Structure 1
Amino acid sequence: MSAAPLSSVTRGVALMVLAIFLFTAMDATAKGLIQRYPAPQVIWVRFAGQLLLVLLILRHHLGPVLRTRFPVLHFWRSASQFGATTFFFLSLPFIGLTEATAIADINPVLITLGAALFLGEKLGRRRIAGVVVALIGALIVIRPGAGVFTWWAVLPLLCAISYATSALLTRKIGAQESVWASMVYAALFGTIVAGIALPFVWEPIATADLWQFALIACLGTGAQLCIIRSFSITEASIVAPFAYLGIVFATFWGAVLYGQWPDRWTVIGALVIVGAGLYVWHREHRASRAPAA
């Protein structure tokens, strides 16, 4: 007998987890580059690289993809995605990777509330509980009052708002259009806007750093593809709590790449986050398998 197909909930959650893993790997790579190159240059490479990759993939099908019924929504979605990347990258020289990720990871609360207010998604007790418990885990990691909240912490907060806006607009467009339309328009917007600053900040790229710039483009493209697909097939309030895994992954990258090993409270908070995410997935997966009354 063939295995039963994965439910949309399981596929959506898996795509979200993969997206967050790729995003944090991109952020960790960018943190090292921003120490040597201007942030606008790194941001431009991230979006220009995505544009190049998508154009290569769609080289014979670009025309149909660009024809959209939602030009205004694509504009604002692209602008909010660009804002999320820009605000986060700008914070990296001043805040640790784990701390910046933890602050930005207030976005699941914003997404869950926004999905109920603007998209009409159901806010059940279990979904609310999953978001609240994961938020508690995030607070355990960042421990308000421990010196994390400086003025630079405003940047990851703005990143969270921008990311939540992008996620809700992605869910709004949903499966009504090809995922590639969102990929093209977001990459084009970011390339143009970030490119305006290039003549004023450009620094020659060392040959030894070229692979890291290429890696940022590939990781960002893969992450964006996964997250758009995740929000297209699964309700935003279901997959939103899994964004808290960004704290876990950022802690891992910080330890491996920069020797910033987590303390006891970071580990405890990460376990709380993972537990909350697994609870949400388990309940929603069972609900999706239950026969209709």
Structure 2
Amino acid sequence: MNIHRTTSPAIAFAVAAAGVGLFSLMDAAMKDLSIALGAYNAVLWRNLTGSLIAGALFLGTGQGWPSTGNLRLHLWRSFIVAGMAVSFFWAIARLPLAEAIGLSFIAPVIALYLAAILLGEKIGREAILASVAGLGGVAIILYGKFSGHCSQDALWGAIAVLFSAVLFAYNLILARQQAQAAGPIEIAFFQNLLTASVLALAAPWFLAPFVVAKAPMLVTAASLAIVSLLLLSWAYARAEAQVLIPVEYTAFVWAIAFGWLFFDEPVTATTLIGTALIVGGSLIAARVKPSAVNHVEIASA
């Protein structure tokens, strides 16, 4: 029996929504860790912890060793993920979760242009419309943020989110290639292990003493990332991307809730309006190239 065909789209959607919720909770945990440890140390320790958890799954399920080609792909993507994750979590330590998540939704629109540059795909009218909507949304969020008094940290935080979004857009393309070549447990293990190895190269300059009191939060963040990845991989194996893409944007609702609950962060009208435009642009992008906007949490876990 082919379970991929017998699974209800509604069940796949619900599982994907749970995955997004858990990933958003991980973002909140990483915000706490980034404030306490610094973004570099938070990401390094989370990936080391994730390596142990995913490594146990990798060995326990009898996964075979990946091919040389897969290892090269895992390693290259780990370089991109390292820069993307550190810049994003550095940013959310300085910005409200909702603003950072809203700005990050521009990544699928950027992915259209990267696909044109890297894969030779044509940029059509719909892609241009997606760009206008997305950039308009970014402009509105930034205007709302910086039209009044704001700190220099907030400005650099917004720049870091947009930089992370560019890396993430390229990561979307790599994630699609990776998902076609390897299973989710292999991806989770080698991405955690190799990303930690890449980050360890900078340890002589940035590594700080670990705060033992943050160990439970670290284990929580690593576990949430892995469970989210497995849930989303399960859902995307059983339903078309076009059915599940809208669930990605529930991350903004979770960001509002967790930002308010854990960090007492308000949400402004400009953030809501700007995010709505960015989401609209991303949905147009999904219609143009569904494979280029495969699930963001799968791509970044």
Does the Cα contact within 8 Å between 1:24 and 1:250 map onto a contact in 2?
A: yes
1:196-219 Cα offsets, whole Å, 9 max, x none, are 52894113312xx33211111112
Equivalent position to 1:205, from 185, 188, 212: 212
Residue of structure 2 equivalent to 1:187: 192
> Counterparts in 2 of 1:132-143, with a 5 A limit?
133=133, 136-137=136-137, 139-143=139-143
Cα distance in structure 1, aligned partners of 2:164 and 2:258? 20
- Seen in structure 2, the aligned counterparts of structure 1 residues 156 and 282 have a Cα distance that, compared at 3 Å, is closer
Displacement after TM superposition at 1:45 (Å)? 2.3
Displacement after TM superposition at 1:221 (Å)? 1.7
Residue of structure 1 equivalent to 2:107: 107
> Counterparts in 2 of 1:29-178, with a 5 A limit?
29-61=29-61, 64-119=64-119, 133=133, 136-137=136-137, 139-143=139-143, 145-146=146-147, 147=150, 150-178=155-183
- Seen in structure 2, the aligned counterparts of structure 1 residues 131 and 275 have a Cα distance that, compared at 3 Å, is same
Please give the TM-score of this superposition, normalised by the length of structure 2: 0.71
Cα distance in structure 1, aligned partners of 2:140 and 2:210? 39
Cα distance in structure 1, aligned partners of 2:35 and 2:131? 34
1:158-215 Cα offsets, whole Å, 9 max, x none, are 2112212221011123323222222222111122233452894113312xx3321111
Please give the TM-score of this superposition, normalised by the length of structure 1: 0.73
Displacement after TM superposition at 1:230 (Å)? 7.1
1:38-57 Cα offsets, whole Å, 9 max, x none, are 33331122112221111221
Aligned length: 279
What value does the CA root-mean-square deviation take over the aligned residues? 4.2
- Seen in structure 2, the aligned counterparts of structure 1 residues 108 and 189 have a Cα distance that, compared at 3 Å, is same
- Seen in structure 2, the aligned counterparts of structure 1 residues 58 and 174 have a Cα distance that, compared at 3 Å, is closer
1:7-58 Cα offsets, whole Å, 9 max, x none, are 6x995x7676555433332221122222222333311221122211112212
Question: Aligned AA for 1:216?
Answer: A
Does the Cα contact within 8 Å between 1:16 and 1:226 map onto a contact in 2?
A: yes
Cα distance in structure 1, aligned partners of 2:247 and 2:124? 17
Query: Percent identity of the aligned residues?
Result: 24
Does the Cα contact within 8 Å between 1:35 and 1:93 map onto a contact in 2?
A: yes
- Seen in structure 2, the aligned counterparts of structure 1 residues 239 and 121 have a Cα distance that, compared at 3 Å, is farther
Cα distance in structure 1, aligned partners of 2:81 and 2:209? 23
